[in-house]
Structure 1
């Protein structure tokens, strides 16, 4: 029986299964930023590495701040590689993507509220040290009993140790916990290695390898609204 829930944040709660690379690329296209997808993908990866290595994002930064800093890093990569991109696009893309995230989180909030009334919830996220500010800004911080954030605990997915920290926070056996996440490689596989049940929000990846091997997820869904029904199914209800 499932007694506790571990939730991913980015790509799960804030985009309903879309990878953030896909969300940002769509905004680049919307504003006709003159780069191709392959180049954008390199800029995206560069930006993620920069934010992971350097203390660019501070604990008090909102998600809009985060997006602006993220896109600034991407644009720096593009400029360094000879692309002529206008800085005015940075604020436009950040605002566009923040609106998308805010809207998606608002749609997820009733599900989180209902989940929190049924189970203790722990957030397990690869994030930049400001996830609590983001949760507060979006009005969903109250639904989580604890937060395990990679920049704070010093462990990143796909290391199963970060999910073990989540299990420890729930004070439950791993087999009584379910992990819900959008990334097969960063959520589902390490969660299974930890001994948890898993629900894979399988919507749209970005650069993850499609191995064609059978999924080890206990359940696959294609919309965050399906999570409560999914948990009930795992519990035989």
Structure 2
């Protein structure tokens, strides 16, 4: 078996904390007093994500807080205009000032949790740099390099493949090929670590990479057939016997 010489990490839900962004936004909304279900928030989350992908020229200069505030603002606008009736009523009754305060509350809650996740990953990833070349492959907004720099993680990574910069989004194998090219290792010597079977493990396996599934809750069970290794915490990466 080929020796693993490089590790590629997903970002959202992997390096920044053990939960999908939708679940973290949901928790932040509820902490801010907005009673909403995951199903109700999902279309607003998707709308804001697509808006962000289409606004790379603006978003590219954002750090984490400005990015999250941008996304939450677009989520709120979607919910205010097309969300469930009780959510529309809540947001309308709160007025512009109240909505602004809610946006800030949701943003600050999300950023606090994300920052804690990134700080923890810094402790995990740092020691790996002496053993492996490291990279990040993420569906992101064109500002991933800035977010990594803010979190003091940038110095660990040889390659950063941000979909909005590369012009290719997971699960297209092209974004993984771009990362492998930057990291200058053959695919068979690279392992991909991510929280999605469909977007991380399956496409990486098509290129001959080893795959590690970070299986977190509270998400639906996925077919783990595309994962060579399943872990429950990013801390386990250092203990994998390659």
TM over 0.5: yes
After superposition, the Cα gap between the structure-2 partners of 1:125 and 1:172, relative to the gap in structure 1 and judged at 3 Å, is: same
Q: Deviations over 1:41-99 (max 9, x none)?
A: 11111111111123474222111111100000100101112613223111111111111
How far, CA to CA, are the matches of 1:216 and 1:54 in structure 2? 33
Task: Find the counterpart in structure 2 of residue 181 from structure 1.
Answer: 194
Return the match for 1:90 from 85, 98, 103.
103
Q: Aligned pair 1:215/2:216, yes or no?
A: no
After superposition, the Cα gap between the structure-2 partners of 1:202 and 1:36, relative to the gap in structure 1 and judged at 3 Å, is: closer
How far, CA to CA, are the matches of 1:25 and 1:57 in structure 2? 25
Q: Deviations over 1:156-214 (max 9, x none)?
A: 001011111111112211111000111111101111011100111011365x7x56x45
Q: Do the aligned partners of 2:10 and 2:137 also contact (CA within 8 Å) in 1?
A: yes
- What RMSD over aligned residues (CA atoms) do the two structures have, in Å? 1.6
How far, CA to CA, are the matches of 1:55 and 1:152 in structure 2? 8
How far, CA to CA, are the matches of 2:156 and 2:194 in structure 1? 17
Q: Do the aligned partners of 1:57 and 1:130 also contact (CA within 8 Å) in 2?
A: no
Q: Do the aligned partners of 2:190 and 2:210 also contact (CA within 8 Å) in 1?
A: yes
TM-score, scaled relative to structure 2: 0.89
TM-score, scaled relative to structure 1: 0.91
Q: Deviations over 1:110-145 (max 9, x none)?
A: 211111111111111111011111011111110001
Instruction: Flag structure 2 segments of 5+ consecutive residues without an equivalent.
Output: 92-98
How far, CA to CA, are the matches of 1:182 and 1:98 in structure 2? 20
CA displacement at 1:4 relative to structure 2: 0.9
Return the match for 1:141 from 154, 173, 183.
154
Q: Do the aligned partners of 2:26 and 2:36 also contact (CA within 8 Å) in 1?
A: no
User: Which stretches of structure 1, 4 residues or longer, exceed 6 Å deviation after superposition?
Assistant: none
Q: How do 1:95-106 and structure 2 match up within 5 A?
A: 95-106=108-119
Task: Find the counterpart in structure 2 of residue 78 from structure 1.
Answer: 79
Q: Secondary structure at the match of 1:129?
A: coil
After superposition, the Cα gap between the structure-2 partners of 1:69 and 1:173, relative to the gap in structure 1 and judged at 3 Å, is: same
- Per residue, is there more helix in 1 or in 2? 2
